[in-house]
Chains A and B, each alone.
Chain A
Amino acid sequence: MEIVLTFLRMTGAYFLLLKKALTRPQKMKIFWENYFRELDDIGLKTVGLISFISFFIGGVVVIQTALNLDNPLIDPSLIGFAAKQSVVLEFSPTLSSVILAGIVGSYIASTIGTMRISEQIDALDVMGINSANYLILPKILAAVTFYPFLIIVSMFLGVLGGWVAGLVTGLVSTPDYIQGIRMGFDPFHFTYSMIKTVIFAFLIATIPSFFGYYVKGGSLEVGRAATKAVIWTSVMIVLWNYILTQLLLS
């Protein structure tokens, strides 16, 4: 019962924080400066890792699919098809978002949490600045505008990584792979991935902000908040992935 009450309290506090954060910025010039700073911190700095992981996961998907479809009756182009579907529908939007929840979520929760315990948020509040709006809104906007591009890059690199792996291992020929990735292309799958990405981006920016904003105590609590933020963001991404898939694809 206590767990349920705590969850309800946290959910209520989360939405109240969102209400406070999702208001018009007090000074647009400063908001845009913060937005571009966040684009760098939570966007551009993640490109390297996401690109690296996407490329190699694409490769692994192709190798594993090829090894599991080792039957002369199965069309080898299906390997490319399976790789494309895995990358576009699930790996890039969902798994990359879970990875981003780890990288960016801990960063957001710990920076906002440190600002809380070192009274920097109090300093903003005392000046008459809406601290939630000032700190969180640029992160939300940076995430929801940048991550769709990041996920498109991830999709491209995943498919590219699959092709390279197929080529290097000799498991799939280039014509078969290209035929596979062109097979059964449904533009709505891409739309579905983008819808998921935007929602996940919102979760990645807001859930860690919530845990950081309400930290009480010292550095230990900031660390715990960062861990909780990553766990809850990942859980919510997985849950929303299920809900959105059910709503949009079934």
Chain B
Amino acid sequence: MIEVKNLRKSFNGHEVLKGISAVFEKGKTNMIIGQSGSGKTVFLKSILGLITPDSGEISFDGRIWSQLSPKEQAQIRKEIGVVFQGNALFDSYNIEENISFPLRMFTNKTEKEIIERVNEVLEQVALPGINKKYPAEISGGQQKRVAIARAIVMYPKYLFADEPNSGLDPKTAIRIDDLLHDLTVQYDTTTLINTHDMNSIMEIGEKIILLKDGVKAWEGTKDDIFFSDNPDLNDFIFSSELFRKVKEVIRKVGGL
């Protein structure tokens, strides 16, 4: 479980996060949604420690980040898997080297054990046999799955994904969503996904937090979305004619 309390962050006097508090549960796909510029990425990067918040508290299963020693923080980092928006695969390494990177860096596994684990995660993301290819030689969807494979190779407790579907076609996007959800269940991770993709929210959003202008505007499940009268949520989710109609139908039938 990840708990965030009263998180604040400003850049050059402009407050991007205005005291956000949230609890992200274990074994669930927690989604942070909101328009571009709502503070989603800053929020996620603050939790990841890539941005230092001005104030607030972040705890990982009760371990308060700011109170930990560098060694304890390093230990938590090893428990985190991240899928970056642009995948962040190392261009000069092949797929096997990319995925095995954390294993080589932080474990004393033998070469045989490392390759076995790499092959295992490549099977899990349905990309067996591409070990020797380079990131530039595979498609965007495959790169995303390799990034997921690298994120899970160390059996993470916490899985983060920043806009995992950006730039992907709808079919591939659904495959990525399902994969993230399945891995969350399989590895029992606390998963945080930043997205503004409606399909993702409806597909795998077990807990959803809406950010607007740096504040938490709404919180609930995907089922709650259709029955909430929160104006910010309606403005964000049901801005298209199609979704407004879907909402009417779902309200009529009483649920998804």
Residues of A within 8 A of B (CB): 26-27, 29-30, 114-115, 118-120, 122-123, 125-129
Q: A127-B77, A128-B77 are in contact. Are A122 and B50 (CB under 8 A)?
A: yes
Which residues in A have their C-beta under 8 angstroms from that of B45? 122
Partner of B78, one of A27, A30, A122, A127: A127
Which residues in A have their C-beta under 8 angstroms from that of B80? 126-127
B242 within 8 Å of A (CB atoms): no
Sorted nearest first, the 5 A-B pairs with minimum C-beta distance are A128-B77, A123-B88, A119-B88, A119-B84, A128-B74
Q: A119-B85, A122-B88 are in contact. Are A127 and B102 (CB under 8 A)?
A: yes
Which one of A29, A114, A115, A118 has the highest number of Cβ atoms from chain B below 10 Å of its Cβ?
A118
Q: In the complex the two chains form, what is the Cα distance from A122 to B102 in whole Å?
A: 14
Which residues in B have their C-beta under 8 angstroms from that of A115? 90
B86 within 8 Å of A (CB atoms): yes
Number of interface residues of B (CB under 8 A): 22
Which one of B48, B88, B89, B90 has the highest number of Cβ atoms from chain A below 10 Å of its Cβ?
B88
Which residues in A have their C-beta under 8 angstroms from that of B89? 120
A-B residue pairs in contact (CB < 8 Å), sample of 10: A118-B86, A118-B88, A119-B86, A120-B88, A122-B45, A123-B84, A125-B49, A126-B49, A127-B80, A127-B106
Q: In the complex the two chains form, what is the Cα distance from A27 to B80 in whole Å?
A: 20
> Per-position contact with A for B70-83: 1 when CB-CB < 8 Å, else 0?
00011001101010
Are the C-beta atoms of B105 and A27 separated by less than 8 Å? yes
B104 within 8 Å of A (CB atoms): yes
Q: In the complex the two chains form, what is the Cα distance from A27 to B108 in whole Å?
A: 10
Which residues of B182-237 are within 8 A (CB) of A? none
Are the C-beta atoms of A123 and B78 separated by less than 8 Å? no
With both chains docked as a complex, state the minimum distance between the C-beta of B163 and any C-beta of chain A, in angstroms. 11
Which residues in A have their C-beta under 8 angstroms from that of B105? 26-27, 30, 127, 129
Chain A interface SS verdict (over half): helix
Which residues in A have their C-beta under 8 angstroms from that of B85? 119
Q: In the complex the two chains form, what is the Cα distance from A29 to B86 in whole Å?
A: 29
Which residues in A have their C-beta under 8 angstroms from that of B48? 126
Which residues in B have their C-beta under 8 angstroms from that of A29? 104
Are the C-beta atoms of B50 and A126 separated by less than 8 Å? yes
Are the C-beta atoms of B74 and A123 separated by less than 8 Å? no
Are the C-beta atoms of A126 and B104 separated by less than 8 Å? no
Which residues in B have their C-beta under 8 angstroms from that of A114? 91
> Per-position contact with A for B88-126: 1 when CB-CB < 8 Å, else 0?
111100000000011011100000000000000000000
Q: In the complex the two chains form, what is the Cα distance from A154 to B88 in whole Å?
A: 39
Q: A27-B104, A119-B84 are in contact. Are A126 and B90 (CB under 8 A)?
A: no
Which residues of B40-59 are within 8 A (CB) of A? 45, 48-50
With both chains docked as a complex, state the minimum distance between the C-beta of B194 and any C-beta of chain A, in angstroms. 13
Which residues in B have their C-beta under 8 angstroms from that of A27? 104-105
Q: In the complex the two chains form, what is the Cα distance from A128 to B45 in whole Å?
A: 14
> Per-position contact with A for B18-48: 1 when CB-CB < 8 Å, else 0?
0000000000000000000000000001001
Which residues in B have their C-beta under 8 angstroms from that of A26? 105
Q: In the complex the two chains form, what is the Cα distance from A29 to B109 in whole Å?
A: 13
Q: What is the chain A residue whose CB lies nearest that of B73?
A: A128
Q: In the complex the two chains form, what is the Cα distance from A120 to B102 in whole Å?
A: 13
Q: What is the chain B residue whose CB lies nearest that of A26?
A: B105
Which residues in B have their C-beta under 8 angstroms from that of A125? 49-50
Which residues in B have their C-beta under 8 angstroms from that of A127? 77-78, 80, 101-102, 105-106
> A118-B88, A119-B86, A122-B50 given. 9 additional CB < 8 A pairs?
A29-B104, A30-B104, A30-B105, A118-B86, A122-B84, A123-B84, A126-B77, A127-B77, A127-B78
Q: In the complex the two chains form, what is the Cα distance from A139 to B77 in whole Å?
A: 26
Q: In the complex the two chains form, what is the Cα distance from A118 to B87 in whole Å?
A: 8
Which residues in B have their C-beta under 8 angstroms from that of A120? 88-91
With both chains docked as a complex, state the minimum distance between the C-beta of B214 and any C-beta of chain A, in angstroms. 21
Which residues in A have their C-beta under 8 angstroms from that of B86? 118-119
Q: In the complex the two chains form, what is the Cα distance from A34 to B105 in whole Å?
A: 13
With both chains docked as a complex, state the minimum distance between the C-beta of A99 and any C-beta of chain B, in angstroms. 24
Which residues in A have their C-beta under 8 angstroms from that of B104? 27, 29-30
Q: In the complex the two chains form, what is the Cα distance from A30 to B106 in whole Å?
A: 11
> Per-position contact with A for B56-73: 1 when CB-CB < 8 Å, else 0?
000000000000000001
With both chains docked as a complex, state the minimum distance between the C-beta of B241 and any C-beta of chain A, in angstroms. 35
With both chains docked as a complex, state the minimum distance between the C-beta of B72 and any C-beta of chain A, in angstroms. 11
